[in-house]
């Protein structure tokens, strides 16, 4: 392992993480709900028109780049092409398989990086600790196999 010091952005990471935690605190204290993005998305799909707060939260996520970029243009823009994937990790077929697995997996696990990784761990939930250890390990293993076993720049 070698640390990519030039890519490491500790202050932005801490500032962004603090905002994510503040948003999760706001949602639980004001509305009594867990800020788990996959669960909120699933809730919005299942209850259709009656899922008011879920749709409001998702609208906030979608609008956030517009609001931030009024102050800080370009922050958080991916380094890749905005319209067509150029990096091998982002071929269309791979994106569709990846998205499908994320959808099935987070539904079965009842949570993702936000619901288990942030909110669940902040609640000191053992279930969320298991979930987080497993999805991080699976992510590490997938990247290891893709980049260092099968080779290629992916």
Partner 1 sequence: MTKLGMALLAGVVFGIGLLLAGMTDPQKVLAFLDLAGEWDPSLALVMISAIATARFGFAAAEHRNDTWLGAAMQLPPRRAADRRLFAGSALFGVGWGLAGFCPGPALVGIGLGYGPAVAVVVAMLAGLCVAGKLPKGPPH
Site for partner 1 in 30-89 (CB under 8 A): 30-35, 37-38, 41-42, 45-46, 52-54, 56-68, 75-85, 87, 89
Which DSSP category does 123 fall into?
T
Shortest Cβ distance from residue 99 to partner 1 (Å)? 3
Count of residues near partner 1 by CB under 8 A: 116
Considering only 96, 150, 151, 152, the residue that binds partner 1 (CB under 8 A) is: 96
Do the beta carbons of residue 44 and residue 54 sit within 8 Å?
Answer: yes
Residue 4 binding partner 1, by CB under 8 A:
yes
Shortest Cβ distance from residue 143 to partner 1 (Å)? 4
CB 119: neighbour CB atoms within 10 A? 23
CB nearer to partner 1: pick between 49 and 82: 82
Residues 6+ apart with CB under 8 A from 154: 87, 88, 89, 94, 146, 147
Report how far residue 82's alpha carbon sits from residue 66's, in angstroms, rounded to the nearest whole number.
15
């Amino acid at each position: 392992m070698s640390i990519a010091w030039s890519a490491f952005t500790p202050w932005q990471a801490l500032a962004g993480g603090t905002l994510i935690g503040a948003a999760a605190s706001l949602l639980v204290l004001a509305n009594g709900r867990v800020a788990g993005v996959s669960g909120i998305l699933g809730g919005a799909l299942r209850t259709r028109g009656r899922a008011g707060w879920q749709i409001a939260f998702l609208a906030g996520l979608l609008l956030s780049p517009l609001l931030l970029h009024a102050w800080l243009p370009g922050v958080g823009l991916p380094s890749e092409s905005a319209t067509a994937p150029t990096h091998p990790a982002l071929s269309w077929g791979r994106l569709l398989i990846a998205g499908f697995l994320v959808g099935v997996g987070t539904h079965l696990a009842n949570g993702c990086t936000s619901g288990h990784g942030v909110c669940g761990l902040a609640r000191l939930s053992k279930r969320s600790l298991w979930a987080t250890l497993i999805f991080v390990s699976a992510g590490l293993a997938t990247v290891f196999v893709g980049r260092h076993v099968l080779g290629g720049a992916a």
